Amino acid sequence: EAGVVQSPRYKIIEKKQPVAFWCNPISGHNTLYWYRQNLGQGPELLIRYENEEAVDDSQLPKDRFSAERLKGVDSTLKIQPAELGDSAVYLCASSLDLAGGLYNEQFFGPGTRLTVL
């Protein structure tokens, strides 16, 4: 079974440029997460989708970050314009969660390593 797919794996851009990341979750997984991970830190949740609905985007810097999951399958995360502090690894994860607020195992993609110069 294919895992979570992310692209690109690496991206180097200059500040003020736009950048987009793509994620294809494991087939059948209803929940999709975007995380940002800085060196020496744990993953920080940016946004969580249940199917196509964003149910937690409280940590998403909405002035420059946007995300979509139009058909409830794959998702894109965009930054426009990028700032130096956005350099990090952007991780996508998916899970099959049941109703009732309980969480199941998250499967992570390999991440996109973003460097903003």
Question: Distances from the Cα of 111 to the Cαs of 14, 35, 45, 63, 102, in angstroms?
Answer: 20, 9, 14, 23, 25
Least distance to other proteins from the beta carbon of 88, Å? 13
Q: How many CB atoms lie within 10 A of CB 109?
A: 22
By the rule CB under 8 A, 42 interacts with other proteins: yes
Q: For residues 15 and 69, what is the distance between their CA atoms, to the nearest angstrom?
A: 26
- Interface map 48-87 toward other proteins (x if CB under 8 A): x------xx-------------------------------
Q: Which residues bind other proteins (CB under 8 A)?
A: 33, 35, 40-45, 48, 55-56, 91, 101-106, 108-111
